[in-house]
Structure 1
Amino acid sequence: MNILQYLLDLGPSVMLPIVIIILGLLLKQGFGKSLRSGITIGIGFVGITLVISLLTDNLGPAAEAMAERFEIGLSVVDVGWPGAAPMAWASSIGTVAIPVAILVNVLMLVFKMTKVVNVDIWNIWHMTFTGAIVSAATGSFWLGIVGVVVHSALVYKLGDWFAPTIEKFYGLPGVTIPHGTGAYMAPFAVVIDAILDKIPGVKKINFNSNKLEEKFGVIGEPVIIGSFLGVVIGLLAGFPISDVLQLGIQMAAVMVLMPTVVKFIMEGLMPIAEAAREMLDKRFQGENYYIGLDPALLLGNSQVVAASLLFVPLTIIIAIFVPGNSVLPFGDLATIGFFISLAVGIHKGNLFRTIISGTVIMFITIWIADKMVGVHTQLANNVGAVTSGQQVASLDQGGSPITFILTELFTLENIVGLIVIGAIYLFCVLFTFVQFKRKKLANDENVSEESDDIRQTI
């Protein structure tokens, strides 16, 4: 366990490359290719860290200035995933969460309950956090383990259901993203997309950064959109003109740099993912397995980056209108793209629909994060992450429906919230499952018809 904790403390930029190198060797990729893949992925994560730091260091002060300028009065600061993840790993659940999550994956594969082969060990922190919160709320270590198991099983299934979207929209065949806010919040986007398809007139509204570029030329390019959003945020924050212009250039840089650094991760991961898929196909013929990878891959899409920047001011505005909310979005503003990354693919890049579903997603996230402040602070106190009297919250995981539902199910402290959020989320998950089955059936029928046509031609 000490070795495992040591690896976790290294962070994703070192831990994941080590895992990839070992995996590459097991897949008989050779030491040279495995080493190259691992180091390339490490470079990508260092790049993402730098870009996120660029966002945090510049958007963070702008967000705080906006809150102060408009006297928002939100007293509990969102510490973001950089604050939440260490709490999860430092908890009693953190020492066993990785073996438990891997065991769940193996058992589901053996019993053919999923086709996801998860290699993204670092992001098991999401499952760990759920277990840690449940354990803190109930005082039971074993109920915490149940939290890890349930979260793991659900997101592996979500990985199955969203793999076709990831292949078609993001161009990543054989890959899925079973982790993080993007995966477990995506069912809301599925339902909203179906509803919008039924509304005359509204269903035809479709615009994205590519269409804006086609229509408005240079003005519609992602780099211009990024700089424009940066300037708007700076003006709302009341910054002097010099700082406003700097923020505009910095956000334009994010639009360019984020897809660039993600390419390094893809360059390192794809050979390993392909090798793993080929090995699985040989041993289990007829089965199409998906390699579970980091959600950072989706941030390479320009539509996701554009929507991410747009949701920085929107998330703060949404926080103002959430009834009874005390949480000020801050730490997760820089990674807001993770929350809506899969929604962008579900809406096929339609920014209009992404704004609608993203608003719903962030509203629910903030509402849950506010209700979880007490137990979140309790967990932080348990692991010594805060001083006495401080309160903490996080949007990433602290605002997770899975964590909230399990916590309330075992404590029954907020029965109304449990019923409302539980019913909405259960409906969205079941609806997503039905949609997946329908599309799979339609796809199988098309493949069968094509095979019949080929045989008749022969």
Structure 2
Amino acid sequence: MEFIKYIVNLGPSVMLPIVIFIISLIIGQKPGKAFRSGVTIGIGFIGIGLVIGLMLNNLGPAAEAMSKNLGVRLSIIDVGWPGDSPMVWAGPIAMTAIPIAIAVNVIMLVFGLTRVVNVDIWNIWHMAFTGTILYIATNNIWIAWVGVIIHAAISYKFGDWYAPIVNDFFGLEGIAIPHGTSAYCAPLAVPVEIVIDKIPGLNKININPKYIEKRFGVFGEPMIIGLILGILIGVLAGYDFKGIAQLGMNMAAVMILMPQVVKLIMQGLMPVSEAARDFLQNRFKEKEFYIGLDPALLLGNSEVVAASLLFVPLTLLLAMVVPGNQVLPFGDLATIGFFVAIAVGIHRGNLFRTLISGSLIMVINIWIANETVPLLTQLAKMVNMLPKGATHVAALDQGGSPLTYLLLQIFDFKNMGNLIALILIGGYYILGIYMSAKYLKNKSYVKNENIG
């Protein structure tokens, strides 16, 4: 267990190249080629980290200033995935969750229950979060492990169902995104897509970067959209001219730089992906396999980044209207694109539909995040990571997950909370999962030309 903990603590930019290198050797790649692929992928993830850091360092303070400027008075801070993932890794079941999640993947592959080969060990923290919260709620390690198993199995199925979108719309051939916020939020967008398709007039509205560029010329280009949205956020934050201009330019840079670092990852990944598919298809005839990777890859899409910027002020406004909400969105605001990334693909880049489904996604995540505050606070105290001066903590990413929420209700009856909300959210989420399994496999997704 100490060895696994050591590898995890290396971080994704070091851990993933090691995993890729080992897998490449197993599937028969030459050591030199395998080493080059691993290093290239690692550099790409460092690049993504730098660009996300650019977003965090600029949007974080802007979001805080905006909440004050808009008069948002909420008492519990969202620490986001940068805050709750270290808590999970330091928690009581994290190191056992990794071999359990890997075993679930292997068993599902052997029995043909998934086509996803997950190499993103870091994001197993989402599955470990579910197990940890169940352990804190029930004090039963077996229930915690069952929670990890169920979350892992559902995540790999998410990878299967949304792979056509990841491959065709996002242009990430041979890749699946089975975990993270992007995957567990995606079912919430599917019913919205189906309903809008059936509403005359509404189903004709299609706002996307191509439409904006055609209508507004240079002002529709991704970097100019980033500039404008950055300026808008700066204005709402009450910044002076210098602050507004700097935020605008930084967001324009994000729109251009993110697709470039994603390209670098794909450059390193493609030889490994092709070799892995050949290796598996030689053993499992007539089956197509996908390499499971981090949802950060989806931020290489200009519509996702645009939606991410739009949802910074919108999420703050939604937090003001969610009944009983005490959570101030903060830690996850800079990477809010993760929540709506696959939804963008489901809606084929239509930002009008993404705004509708994304608003629903954020309202549900905010509401659930309130329900998990006591358990997350208990975890923070357990691992000595409660922020100085705070009495409670919340997290939208995973702390607001409908999947974790439903499993918590199933295994811990005293946590039933608001029964009406549980029925509504649970019923809608199960409907979304059902529709994802049945609806998406029969749809065709046009390759997005805005990937860069």
Give yes or no for the alignment of 1:419 onto 2:420. Answer: no
Instruction: Name the CA distance, whole Å, in 1 between partners of 2:264 and 2:393.
Output: 34
Q: Which moved more, 1:4-13 or 1:27-36?
A: 27-36
Per the normalisation by structure 1, the TM-score is 0.93
Structure 1 gap segments, 5+ residues each: 441-458
Residue equivalent to 1:407: 408
The residue number in structure 2 matching 1:385 is 385
After superposition, residues 18-417 of structure 1 pair within 5 angstroms as 18-386=18-386, 390-412=391-413, 413=415, 414=417, 416=419, 417=421
Write the letter of the residue equivalent to 1:288: E
Aligned residues: 440
CA contact (8 A) 1:77 1:393 kept: yes
Aligned AA (2:238): G
Unpaired runs of at least 5, structure 2: 445-452
Corresponding residue of 2:447: none
Structure 2 residue matching 1:291: 3-state secondary structure = strand
TM-superposed CA distance for 1:167, in Å, is: 1.6
Give the drift of 1:273: 1.2
C-alpha displacement of 1:175: 1.7
Cα distance in 1 for partners of 2:71, 2:171 equals 44
Residue in 2 aligned with 1:433?
437
Deviates more, 1:273-282 or 1:379-388: 379-388
Take 2:265 and 2:126, find their aligned partners in 1: how far apart are those partners? 20
Asked if 2 retains the 8 angstrom alpha-carbon contact of 1:14 and 1:42, the reply is yes
Distance in structure 2 (CA, Å) of the matches to 1:436 and 1:336 = 24
Structure 1 residue 44 displacement after superposition: 1.2
Deviations 1:146-194 (A, max 9, x none): 1111110111111111111112101223221101111111111111000
Which 4+ stretches in 1 moved above 6 angstroms?
A: none
CA–CA separation in structure 2 for the residues paired with 1:406 and 1:91: 19
Matched residue type, 2:438: V
For the residues of structure 2 that align with 1:326 and 1:178, how far apart are their CA atoms?
Answer: 30
Q: Deviations over 1:6-33 (max 9, x none)?
A: 1111111111111111111112211111
Matched residue SS, 2:189:
helix
**In the TM superposition, what is the alpha-carbon distance from 1:285 to its structure 2 partner?**
1.1
Q: CA deviation at 1:217?
A: 1.2
For residues 388 and 240 of structure 1, what CA distance do their matches in structure 2 show? 30
- Deviation, 1:390, is 2.3
Could you list the per-position Cα deviations for residues 26-65 of structure 1 after superposition, in whole angstroms to 9, with x for gaps in the alignment?
1221111111111111111111111111111111111111
Question: What RMSD in Å do the two structures reach over aligned CA positions?
Answer: 1.4
Deviation at 1:368, TM superposition (A): 0.6
- Measure, in 2, the Cα distance between the counterparts of 1:200 and 1:30: 56
1:93-116, CA deviations, whole angstroms, 9 ceiling, x for partnerless residues?
101011000111111122221111
Q: Tell me how far apart the structure 2 counterparts of residues 148 and 415 of structure 1 sit (CA, whole Å).
A: 25
| Equivalent position SS for 1:114 | coil
Name the CA distance, whole Å, in 1 between partners of 2:172 and 2:278.
Answer: 15
Q: Report how far residue 389 of structure 1 moved.
A: 5.4
Q: In 1, distance between residues paired with 2:211 and 2:321?
A: 31
AA aligned to 1:361 is I
**Matched-pair contact (CA < 8 Å) for 1:259–1:301:** yes
For 2:296 and 2:267, the matched residues in 1 are separated by 13
Percent identity between the two aligned chains: 58
Aligned-partner Cα distance in 2 for 1:315–1:270: 36
Matched with 1:11 is 11
Tell me by how many angstroms 1:408 deviates.
2.1
Q: Which amino acid aligns with 2:400?
A: G
Aligned-pair CA distance for 1:439 = 4.7
Cα contact 1:109–1:116 (8 A) shared by 2: yes
Q: Which residue of 1 aligns with 2:2?
A: 2
User: Do the aligned residues in 2 keep the contact of 1:21 with 1:34 (CA within 8 Å)?
Assistant: yes
Distance in 1 separating the partners of 2:265 and 2:228: 28
Displacement after TM superposition at 1:216 (Å): 1.3
- How far off is 1:438 after superposition? 4.4
CA distance in 2, matches of 1:26, 1:110: 17
Once residues 375 and 388 of structure 1 are traced to their aligned partners in structure 2, the CA distance between those partners, rounded to angstroms, is 18
Please tell me whether the aligned partners of residues 180 and 295 of structure 1 are also in contact (alpha carbons under 8 angstroms): yes
The equivalent residue for 1:450 is none
Code of the residue aligned with 2:402 in structure 1: it is P
Helix, strand or coil: the match of 1:96? helix
Once the two structures are TM-superposed, the CA of residue 338 in structure 1 deviates from its matched residue by: 0.9
- Distance change in 2, residues 1:55/1:281 (3 Å): same
Partner of 1:455: none
Shift of 1:260: 1.2
Q: State the SS of the aligned residue for 1:225.
A: helix
Counterpart AA for 2:399: G
CA contact (8 A) 1:138 1:411 kept: yes
Corresponding letter in the other structure for 1:286:
E
Residues 355-384 of structure 1 deviation map (CA, whole Å, 9 limit, x = unaligned): 111111111111111111111111111111
Amino acid of the structure 1 residue aligned with 2:323: P
